[in-house]
Structure 1
Amino acid sequence: MNSSENQLEYRALKEFVRLVDDETSLGMRVRCVICEELTVRQRELINMYYMENMTMPEIAGKLGITVSSVSRTIARGRLRIRKYLKYNGRSMMNSCFD
């Protein structure tokens, strides 16, 4: 992935995570995906990074772990969400807008 693809993915995932606060059917489904597909640690770090807008060094300092660990955990969480959306996202979106 090049830099512009990374930025696009970051913005798309940030919007996806923000849907967690949405009270619509889609928001509730997104919340379920995050709860069911991610580990507790992945949910925690993704929330801190995307919702609380903390930097990776800030997260690492707060939790007493390395920046590398934060980066890997967030990347694995994004991958799990991406895989879920690849296989289930279209049907999830279609069922909300039928």
Structure 2
Amino acid sequence: MQLHEHYQHAIKQNNVLLEFARHARQSNLILCYIKKDNHDNETNNALAMALLHANCPSIMQEIPLGRVVFEVEQAQCKSAVLRADIATLRAQLTYPIEE
């Protein structure tokens, strides 16, 4: 099974990080600040990594360190569900700041 398939299987039960994000938003908590010059792909990779680590921790630990970024990017490309969750997480937890 590929990483994106593990993710889709894991979130069927409960998407821990998105639940946390919803509650944080309701409590008016903002947990991530994004600089205006941050590239979307860098932010998306960071949020995807957070989602994958939260929902597939054992699978993420098995991936060799040198392949993690590649595998995270591939999971994003192959999974519309993961991309949608990234967008949701970004909307719930991020706040742009100017520098």
TM, length-normalised to structure 1: 0.30
TM, length-normalised to structure 2: 0.29
Higher relative CO (Cα under 8 Å, sequence separation at least 6) belongs to 2
